C-alpha cells in the first residue's frame, strides 16, 4: 500500500509565504477548509489532493510530500 506523508510544517510555511489562508488553498484545491487544516495537523492526504496542492503552490511534490510504501 502506498501512503503519502506530509511535511506539515513546510506546507504551512509555504502556504503562508504565498499569502494564502487555509480557506484560500482549500477553495483552489476544491476541498473543505478543514481538509487543509487537518493535513497541516498531520492527517495525510490522498494522492489527488496532494497533487492539487503542489500544483496550486507551484512547488515540487517532494518539497512537501513523500511517498511511503508498505505501511
How is the chain split into domains, by residue range? 2-69
Overall average pLDDT of the 54-64 stretch: 96
How many CA atoms lie within 13 Å of 66's alpha carbon, on the beta-carbon side? 7
The tens digit of pLDDT for each residue in 23-48 reads 999 999 999 999 999 999 989 999 99
Q: Which CATH class is domain 2-69?
A: mainly alpha
Predicted TM-score (pTM) of this structure: 0.89
Cα(33)–Cα(25) distance, integer angstroms = 8
Cell of 40: 497541516
Residue 70 has pLDDT above 60, yes or no: yes
Asked if 36 contacts 25 with a C-beta cutoff of 8 angstroms, the reply is yes
Amino acid at each position: 500500500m502506498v501512503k503519502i506523508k506530509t511535511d506539515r510544517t513546510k506546507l504551512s510555511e509555504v502556504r503562508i509565504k504565498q499569502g494564502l489562508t487555509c480557506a484560500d488553498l482549500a477553495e483552489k484545491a476544491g476541498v473543505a477548509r478543514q481538509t487543509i487544516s487537518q493535513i497541516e495537523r498531520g492527517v495525510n492526504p490522498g494522492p489527488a489532493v496532494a497533487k492539487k496542492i503542489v500544483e496550486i503552490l507551484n512547488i515540487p511534490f517532494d518539497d512537501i510530500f513523500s511517498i511511503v510504501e508498505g505501511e
